[in-house]
Structure 1
Amino acid sequence: MGVQLLGPLELVVDRRPVDIGSPRQRVVLAMLALNANRVTTVDQLIDAVWDDAPPASARSQIQICVSALRKLMSPEFTITTRPPGYLLEIDRAELDSERFTRKVAAAKQLAEDGELTEAADALRAALALWRGPALAGVDSDVVQRDAARLQERKLLAEEERLRIELALGRHEQITGELKALIDDQPFRERPYAFLMLALYRAGRQTEALEVGRRVRATLIEEVGIEPGQELQDLERAILNRDPVLLLPTPAVVASPKATVTPRRTADPAIPRLLPAGIADFTSREDTVAEIKQVLADGDDVALRIVAISGMGGVGKSSLAIRAAHELSDTFVDGHLYADLRPTGADEDTAALLARFLRALGVAGSAIPDGLAERVEMYRSKVFGKRLLVVLDDVTSEPQIRPLLPGSPTCAVIVTSRTRLSELSGAHRVDLDLFDEEQSLRMLSRIVGSERIDAEPEHARELVNFCGRLPLALRIAGARLASRPHWRVVSLTRRLRSEAHRLDELTHRGLVLRTNIGLTYRSLSRSAQQLFRRFALVQAPDFPGWAAAALLDTDLFEAEDILETLVDAQMLDTVLYPGEQLPRYRFHDLIRVYAAEQLLAVESAQEREDALGRLLGAWLALAEQAHRMEYGGDFTVLHGDAPRWTPPGEAEIIDNVVTWWETERRSLVAAIKQAAAAGLDEVSWDLAHTAVTLFETKGYFDDWRETTQLALELVERKGNDRGRAAMLYSLGTLHMSQQRLDEADACFTTALGLFDAVGDVHGRAMALRNMAYVDRMSGRLDRIRAKYTESLELMRSVGDRVGEAHVLCNLARIHVDDGDLDGARERLELALRISQQVRCLRMEAQVLKQFSTLYGHTEDFELARQMLHRVLRIVRDVGDWIGEAHALYSLGLVRHGEGRLDLAETTLQHALTASRRAAQEKLETEVVHALERLAAAMSDRPEAITAAQGT
């Protein structure tokens, strides 16, 4: 019973084949068998039967085919309907393709266990299952694609059997089979290699070389390519009668996993070119173990390569040399080592190959002149050897391709400051900086633990000045070790000056500046320029678009150049939780080097222009973010500083709330940098626009610091409009923190300055806030006139959100006066404006006032609905202060409803939110509300205790 796929399609029932029926039914059965015990969809069956031209009745005809096939089958296997198609349920042992797969897997395991004779027998049994080409006679392109995959598996099994037969010394018996296989598959290279080796071992060298010429002619004429590296190496080895081609001893053949091969007497040269390991190597034990496992546990099928990458000075060479020394017992035929820093040209590579060949025992007079010939001789010499090659400080993949052995018995360790992505099959190790503990341990090994333990704080300071970079730590440690009379603090004092830090990190040939410079000089001119200009960025990290501003180019070109700096390990990437795009940052010591190069190479005008574009980009983006939140340039003032935007269409801000929060530290740094550079228009404009973030999240320290810096600058520059804007911003900060007298003074001075420069919008904004201060101070007689004038001015300058905000405040006055209809009228107009311009912040404030209005009429249901909408909005826009106020109001509404338990829970949340937003006055009001609530819940003493404890 079963289905036979390895040959003409057959359905076997009661040990006899049955007539499957029409060609269409044969296609359906083949598809179901190829997907045995998995659902085959009706669409797949239709594609297999009719390709891309099915008739309208295709589905019903498939159903007819399945029904006919079911009648042919026995109870042991059948076809069931499983949407969206059909399932052939069958024991896998009843499929000859599955039996073949299991036998091949068993043979592989036998070979791995060293049981080669049994493995060959198992493969012969597997191949005996084939009765001809897979699924012969089934007319379907879809089915034949799967049949081709089965045929490929057969060929691989046949090649593996022949490889094992060769290993068993049966070269004479299989030459006929190999010739037949080549006639059948003239473009597969492995059978040619097997035949060449079989003929050579049978003493037929001339015939073996003739096969090599034949395959070259066939591939060039028919395919247009040269034979692969394996065949080329084999042909050279046959020409040279390399002893490695002789049949290995049984002890070696028995276990393909063996890691030690007896040394060959035919080639006594065992190179040992590794430099000495570094005595203070520390803290990379796990990585050493990882490298050893990768290189020692290979299966000699493919060349094993470990590629170690990391920034200059991170310890790549030390790690590679340490691991190579520890692998000496595995690679008994020796080590080759090359420092690739000075090489790169063909003549340098040729000279290096000559050195390798001499180390491998080749006489100088026998070394060919050309690079290609030296590569060929090198690969022939190392073929079959257990040799480890260490290539240190590689700059690119083409630089080392001639130096890679062609033999899978060899292994390679590569170190590079860039990530070598084109090394196929390489195991990659990315080295990072030490942590503080590792850094202190390294210093202790160099200097002595007594000196480090005696000054732990200064030792930690030293580690931070070195940026936890192993090379910098080694230099600092060497300086201390050579001066036993120095205390640790003696060196930390010298390193505190950033301008001289690289000068101090030098000791007897160990020069950190030179180390960084090697990578810098390997960069393209545009990458060097970007590297230098990134020193202008004073933020702790920066977004990718900063590269476009610094280079004055589009985002895509800048990103390509930026990534070369990342690949060269000159920039680190950091991805914050919840972020989609990475940010970039310098290592501290690399930043110092970049700053040196910036001053040395770029003119003052070039530096000024680049900084102007960078700050102009910050300003343009902050302006855009404000527009996205407020629906336009509402309730904000702008100066005439130049903006910079990248050429072409570029969407940098995706989620405005996330953008503000992610860029906060960079925005603050940009404002400080603009102030330090004397750029007054950029400074005050960016500081004023950033209030959009500072106000809603309660970043009052940032707000105060940036505003004060900008204010001092505009005062020095005599910039009256900038001064007015900063006094207005500072007054708003005082107002938010309930320092009403300071706020009033700022607004009064700002109003006079706005009038002096003729800024109507500024006057409208100042009057609005002055009226609010008057209300909070109890000066009720002044409020209405200021709000009324502010409203008129807001409308005249087109500030829709400012208009809505004044209407909201006027509604509050109407509520206080008992004019609820007047309040509702103004709130409805304010709500329409907010929704028209799509300003959610303003909409939340209007809805909050609606809840107050409903509270006065004791319509608590509507008040609660309003506040729930407010909470959704303020949480969406990240308004912490708005959330705290909304929760407080909702707690009061719950109290008014008589739902005291819910009121207590809500007020406790309000208390937490007010503390998070640093709203001290609101916090006091919440505590008082909790105390009133506790009094109302007098039958629950624990409520009073909880309120008092807050």
Structure 2
Amino acid sequence: MGLRLLGPVEMTIGDRSVNLGGARQRTVLAVLGLNANRVVPVDQLIDAVWGADPPTTARSQIQICISALRRIFQEIGHPEAIDTRPPGYLLQLAPEHVDSLQFAAQLADARRQADAGAKAEAAATLTTALALWRGAALSGIASDQVQRAATVLEDQRLTAVEERIQLDLELGRHQEVILELRALVVEQPMRERLHAYLMLALYRCGRQADALAAARRAREILAEELGLDPGAELQHLERAILQRDPSLGPTDEASPAAAPPAPRWTPPQPRLPTPVLPRQLPASITDFVGRDDQLDQIRQVLGRSPDDDRDHRGMPVVVISGMDGVGKSSLAIRAAHELGEHYPDGQLYADMHTWDGQDRSAELLARFLRALGVTGSAIPEGVEERGELYRSMLSGKRMLVVLDDVPPDVPVLPLLPGSSSCGVIIASRLRLTGLPGVRQIDLDVFDLQQSLQMLTGMVGRDRILADRADAAELAVLCGGLPLALRITGARLASRPHWRLGGLVHRLRDEAKRLDEFTHHGLELRSSIRLAYRALDARAQRLFRLCSLLRAPDFPGWTAAALLDCSTVEAEDILESLVDARLVDIVQYPYTSVRYRLHDLIRVYAAEKLGEEETGQDSAAALARVLGGWLALAEAAHQIDYGGNFTTLHGGARRWTMPREDAARQIGDPADWWEAERRALAVAVRQAAEAGLSELCWDLSLTMISLFESKGYFDDWRECTSLAYEAAERDGNRIGMAAMRYSLGTLYLFQSRLAEADDCFATALEMFRAEGLEHGCALVLRNAAHIDGLRGDVASMLGKYTASLDIMRRVGDRIGEAHIMRNLAKHRMDEGDYQGATELLDQALVICEQTGCLRVQAQVLHRFAEVHLATGRLDLAKPCLHQVLRIVRDTGDRIGETHALYSLGLLRHREGRSDDAEVILAHTLERARSLGERLVEARCRFSLGEIALATGRPEAGAAHLWEAAELFGRLGSTFWQERANLLLAKADQLAPPVAEGVAAWAGLAGDRPV
């Protein structure tokens, strides 16, 4: 039996295809197959079949589909395949019975083979994996949810193709891949890597001129379609080809020169044991899991052959560092045992956790000397003399020294052998960077798979499989910390009658969580306490206050706000917490360093906060941090818009830092908004919980530019709702009005016009009652846009005029420019292109004077629309390319979608229908993913228009029907009438089409939207 998703959805028995029934059943099976061996909630299945408008009988209809599918599985001998598992259903199929899972497994195998150097095998495995594809994934399933999954699968397929071609090129098969690459760059012109591979293959076949021609073609495609230059990788390759860079490989023959043979590894030669052979290592734990990469690194440093000593003048030292409980000691001891044959003279071991800051080097050296056979009065008195004798006795020996749990501020150098033939492993919270020539290995917590592997080894596979969901939550509550997992596993192993869910329930109580991590001498709290007590007073206080920060991670300036001190001073204190392994460093691409508390350490910090800080001091520290977020968000908005334009601010207290520090924190506002999105949303939530309603609504409103440009509608709705409720509790009428305006703007972006209208009406009434003119202007501006969509021109012009008058009176220059841009659209609709141009000229001057790139891009986009409407395509093209550069530089995904739609229209007007369809289809998918329903509908309309113009009335009718239906739901009567007119044209071109469309429309209730 096989479920096939990589092509038309199909289930087979041998060579026979099984009848899967109607469209709904096929959709349900597709969703279950995409989530094979994972529970799929009923709500997800409903969304897949009906989208956002399910019938009241949706649940019962899903049950009918499941029953029908169960009968099909029963007929083919798999009656147990579909299981009911709250809150939905589980399709249980072995990976080899689902082609998408087979593909993923073979892709992973190929990557492992490639990593191991088996390139030919990896290429063959990828070829086998790609042969599983029979066409477009999940074709025949008209579901937005399923098609989004299909897009992901298609991207995985293309990535696999690229990886296979890269392997072929590394194997010297450049001649064989040229034809395939030529077809691929036509099929996928936007994937720069395919262009690069084609260039490289041509060059390696001695076809430099053809390779450069391919580079020029890639440049033309990217410039014409996207208005951009090629990326750095493609540009670098083009220069290298032009210069005949030797690193590119051969140019005159089709196969590379033979690679030199890999050096042979010589196994270690046995040595005669010395008379005294210390074997001090503790036993290695039998259920040791994970850390394979780290063990490999340790072997590379310490596992060399004795014959290699002449090439290593220094003594090899490995330092394993990480937070308490992360498994440093377990790794050090396991590695030492595995390295036993490389150190035949024995191992010396010291557990130094009891030193507690005291230097007991003399005592430990005496113990080591006794282990080496020195007794009684032969052991010198002082540390220096003992060290000298210790190093002399180890000279020339192959001895491994393990120093476990080394405390901070304890000198380690006196304990190290002096001979390069010896090796050292040190485990410590600190990285011990002062030691020369060490290999640092930082340990992080386990991921979910490793955590479950460890629990399974301690508790038993059957017990874990019986409660998979509880086992996964248990691993998450342990935070992937091996010590916490060990304590949890030991407790469960000692109580075989316990259900995993019972312990999960106890661990959910954060206030008592650390109490649960205790078992027969193992205790998590004491490990954290040891590190905490080693801090000075200010570091201890910062550690406690850090528990107030709820975001997953935080920037360094928040420490300054918590302590109310300078950023430089706070960052130094914060780094001491990093050194103590109580705070982790997190580094994301394109962002500054950030910090994070492990969940269980945060619990301990919160305990200490409650014990040692007053509620008033904690509240003040939290207010400072939230005020800091508001100050930076306001500053970022000012940089984006050239001032406090198109927004309102309240009187909440800000926590400010010096201007140069703030500028350094923000950098590029587009990058800053994106990097801090989660933290800002958490700040809104915490402000609401803390009763800081003025700060809450102000911060939420300031974030609108982030929400609307990136399409983060879920965050927008959550922040607005929280801020409105907080303002309502405090009777803060301005805050309530601002959040009704914000929610209405969200609904406007989602084309939910009736709900937007209701919000704007309430907000306008409140702003007028509070006498806040600027708020009235913002509401009137957006309400006018709704009137325009509905065709109520008189009301639209009245609101725009009133809003424009207020904007000018209160000095909101960008608000003024935005309204003039919208009025220009009205002038265009009236045929007054000269008047539209005059308005846009004024708006553009304002944008340039204020430096507001975002609205400048919107104004330029309207200029392009004027040029398109008047047939001046030569002016529209550079205008759109400039818009695309701006919106991409500023990260405006919504603006990019609108600009790409216009670029598709431009291509159509230029007579380049194929290019136009590619751009519009790409834009359609972007609009659907961002929830831009109006752009989605217009893309459908334009694709239908192109299909009719190119003699494909059936395809045109399908697009136009979708467009008309969507315009109707959006309340855009003008565009709906245009779509219906073109549908009538499709009927004239091919009368049978009308019957097909009518029949299709009659089944619309059964189709996913």
TM-score by structure 1 length?
0.69
Q: Does structure 1 residue 474 correspond to structure 2 residue 486?
A: yes
What residue is the counterpart of 1:877 in the other structure?
Answer: 890
Q: Does structure 1 residue 738 correspond to structure 2 residue 751?
A: yes
Aligned residue for 2:676, secondary structure, equals helix
What residue is the counterpart of 2:810 in the other structure?
Answer: 797
Q: Which amino acid aligns with 1:624?
A: A
What residue is the counterpart of 1:608 in the other structure?
Answer: 619
The structure 1 residue matched to 2:660, chosen from 629, 649, 654, is: 649
Q: Which amino acid aligns with 1:912?
A: E
Q: Please list the CA deviations of residues 451-509 of structure 1 after superposition, one character each: whole Å capped at 9, or x if unmatched.
A: 22332232222222212221111111100111011122222222222222211111111
CA 1:897–1:383: 2 relative to 1, 3 Å? closer
The structure 2 residue matched to 1:788, chosen from 787, 790, 801, is: 801
Q: Does structure 1 residue 659 correspond to structure 2 residue 672?
A: yes
What residue is the counterpart of 1:402 in the other structure?
Answer: 414
Between the aligned residues of both structures, percent identity stands at 55
Q: Do 2:395 and 2:418's aligned partners in 1 also have CA atoms closer than 8 Å?
A: yes
The structure 2 residue matched to 1:811, chosen from 804, 824, 834, is: 824
Q: Please list the CA deviations of residues 209-236 of structure 1 after superposition, one character each: whole Å capped at 9, or x if unmatched.
A: xxxxxxxxxxxxxxxxxxxxxxxxxxxx
State the Cα distance separating 1:730 from its structure 2 match: 1.2
CA 1:688–1:939: 2 relative to 1, 3 Å? closer
Q: Distance in 2 between the 1:539 and 1:595 partners?
A: 15
Q: Please list the CA deviations of residues 874-894 of structure 1 after superposition, one character each: whole Å capped at 9, or x if unmatched.
A: 222222222222233343344
State the Cα distance separating 1:794 from its structure 2 match: 1.0
Unpaired runs of 5+ residues, structure 1, are 1-111, 114-254
Q: Distance in 2 between the 1:423 and 1:722 partners?
A: 57
What residue is the counterpart of 1:423 in the other structure?
Answer: 435
The structure 2 residue matched to 1:522, chosen from 530, 534, 543, is: 534
CA 1:275–1:792: 2 relative to 1, 3 Å? same
Q: Which amino acid aligns with 2:629?
A: W
CA 1:362–1:862: 2 relative to 1, 3 Å? closer
State the Cα distance separating 1:714 from its structure 2 match: 0.6
Q: Please list the CA deviations of residues 687-724 of structure 1 after superposition, one character each: whole Å capped at 9, or x if unmatched.
A: 00000110111111111110011001111111111112
Aligned residue for 1:649, secondary structure, equals helix
State the Cα distance separating 1:915 from its structure 2 match: 1.5
Q: Distance in 2 between the 1:673 and 1:807 partners?
A: 38
What residue is the counterpart of 2:845 in the other structure?
Answer: 832
Q: Distance in 2 between the 1:908 and 1:945 partners?
A: 14
State the Cα distance separating 1:317 from its structure 2 match: 1.0
Q: Does structure 1 residue 501 correspond to structure 2 residue 513?
A: yes
CA 1:794–1:289: 2 relative to 1, 3 Å? closer
Q: Distance in 1 between the 2:890 and 2:654 partners?
A: 26
The structure 1 residue matched to 2:596, chosen from 558, 575, 585, is: 585
Written as runs of structure 1 = structure 2, the 5 A alignment for 1:600-749 is 600-647=611-658, 649-650=660-661, 651-749=664-762
Between the two structures, name the one with larger relative contact order (CA 8 Å, sep ≥ 6): 2
State the Cα distance separating 1:914 from its structure 2 match: 1.5
Q: Does structure 1 residue 574 correspond to structure 2 residue 586?
A: yes
Q: Distance in 1 between the 2:829 and 2:881 partners?
A: 24
Aligned residue for 1:429, secondary structure, equals strand
Q: Distance in 1 between the 2:698 and 2:678 partners?
A: 17
Q: Do 2:634 and 2:702's aligned partners in 1 also have CA atoms closer than 8 Å?
A: yes
Q: Which amino acid aligns with 1:920?
A: R
State the Cα distance separating 1:648 from its structure 2 match: 6.6
Aligned residue for 2:354, secondary structure, equals coil
Aligned residue for 1:751, secondary structure, equals helix
Q: Please list the CA deviations of residues 753-812 of structure 1 after superposition, one character each: whole Å capped at 9, or x if unmatched.
A: 222322221122122222222222333322333222221211111111011112222223
Q: Does structure 1 residue 294 correspond to structure 2 residue 264?
A: no
Q: Distance in 2 between the 1:872 and 1:384 partners?
A: 66
CA 1:619–1:453: 2 relative to 1, 3 Å? same
Q: Distance in 1 between the 2:814 and 2:619 partners?
A: 37
The structure 1 residue matched to 2:544, chosen from 532, 549, 563, is: 532
What residue is the counterpart of 2:605 in the other structure?
Answer: 594
Q: Distance in 2 between the 1:689 and 1:347 partners?
A: 55
State the Cα distance separating 1:385 from its structure 2 match: 4.1
What residue is the counterpart of 1:274 in the other structure?
Answer: 281
Q: Distance in 1 between the 2:875 and 2:793 partners?
A: 29
Q: Does structure 1 residue 315 correspond to structure 2 residue 322?
A: no
State the Cα distance separating 1:675 from its structure 2 match: 0.8
State the superposition RMSD in angstroms: 2.8
Return 933-942 or 662-671, whichever deviates more. 933-942
Written as runs of structure 1 = structure 2, the 5 A alignment for 1:757-772 is 757-772=770-785
Q: Distance in 1 between the 2:296 and 2:757 partners?
A: 69
Q: Distance in 2 between the 1:345 and 1:823 partners?
A: 77
State the Cα distance separating 1:634 from its structure 2 match: 0.5
CA 1:461–1:800: 2 relative to 1, 3 Å? same
Written as runs of structure 1 = structure 2, the 5 A alignment for 1:227-376 is 260-264=271-275, 269-284=276-291, 287-288=294-295, 290-292=297-299, 294-297=301-304, 299=309, 301-343=313-355, 348-376=360-388
What residue is the counterpart of 1:915 in the other structure?
Answer: 928
What residue is the counterpart of 2:454 in the other structure?
Answer: 442
Q: Please list the CA deviations of residues 885-908 of structure 1 after superposition, one character each: whole Å capped at 9, or x if unmatched.
A: 223334334444554334333322
What residue is the counterpart of 1:63 in the other structure?
Answer: none
CA 1:941–1:717: 2 relative to 1, 3 Å? closer
Aligned residue for 1:415, secondary structure, equals strand
Q: Do 1:307 and 1:415's aligned partners in 2 also have CA atoms closer than 8 Å?
A: yes
Q: Distance in 1 between the 2:379 and 2:872 partners?
A: 100
State the Cα distance separating 1:398 from its structure 2 match: 4.4
Written as runs of structure 1 = structure 2, the 5 A alignment for 1:475-494 is 475-494=487-506
The structure 2 residue matched to 1:868, chosen from 876, 881, 897, is: 881
CA 1:330–1:912: 2 relative to 1, 3 Å? closer
Q: Which amino acid aligns with 1:765?
A: L
Q: Do 1:442 and 1:473's aligned partners in 2 also have CA atoms closer than 8 Å?
A: yes
Return 488-497 or 887-896, whichever deviates more. 887-896
State the Cα distance separating 1:936 from its structure 2 match: 1.8
Q: Which amino acid aligns with 2:848?
A: Q
Q: Which amino acid aligns with 2:280?
A: L
Q: Does structure 1 residue 821 correspond to structure 2 residue 834?
A: yes
State the Cα distance separating 1:384 from its structure 2 match: 4.3
State the Cα distance separating 1:535 from its structure 2 match: 1.5
The structure 2 residue matched to 1:751, chosen from 755, 761, 764, is: 764
Aligned residue for 1:306, secondary structure, equals strand
What residue is the counterpart of 2:40 in the other structure?
Answer: none
Q: Do 2:641 and 2:854's aligned partners in 1 also have CA atoms closer than 8 Å?
A: yes
CA 1:722–1:477: 2 relative to 1, 3 Å? same
State the Cα distance separating 1:948 from its structure 2 match: 7.3
State the Cα distance separating 1:345 from its structure 2 match: 5.6
The structure 1 residue matched to 2:913, chosen from 883, 900, 913, is: 900
Written as runs of structure 1 = structure 2, the 5 A alignment for 1:11-90 is none
Q: Do 1:851 and 1:864's aligned partners in 2 also have CA atoms closer than 8 Å?
A: yes
Unpaired runs of 5+ residues, structure 2, are 1-264, 964-1009
Q: Do 2:940 and 2:959's aligned partners in 1 also have CA atoms closer than 8 Å?
A: no
Q: Please list the CA deviations of residues 319-347 of structure 1 after superposition, one character each: whole Å capped at 9, or x if unmatched.
A: 22223334445444443322212226666
Aligned residue for 1:652, secondary structure, equals helix
Q: Distance in 1 between the 2:862 and 2:962 partners?
A: 31
Q: Does structure 1 residue 887 correspond to structure 2 residue 894?
A: no
Q: Do 2:941 and 2:959's aligned partners in 1 also have CA atoms closer than 8 Å?
A: no
The structure that has the greater radius of gyration is 1
Q: Please list the CA deviations of residues 170-221 of structure 1 after superposition, one character each: whole Å capped at 9, or x if unmatched.
A: xxxxxxxxxxxxxxxxxxxxxxxxxxxxxxxxxxxxxxxxxxxxxxxxxxxx
Q: Do 1:346 and 1:371's aligned partners in 2 also have CA atoms closer than 8 Å?
A: no
Q: Do 1:570 and 1:590's aligned partners in 2 also have CA atoms closer than 8 Å?
A: yes
State the Cα distance separating 1:558 from its structure 2 match: 2.7
The structure 2 residue matched to 1:413, chosen from 417, 425, 437, is: 425
CA 1:789–1:437: 2 relative to 1, 3 Å? closer
What residue is the counterpart of 2:564 in the other structure?
Answer: 552
What residue is the counterpart of 1:22 in the other structure?
Answer: none
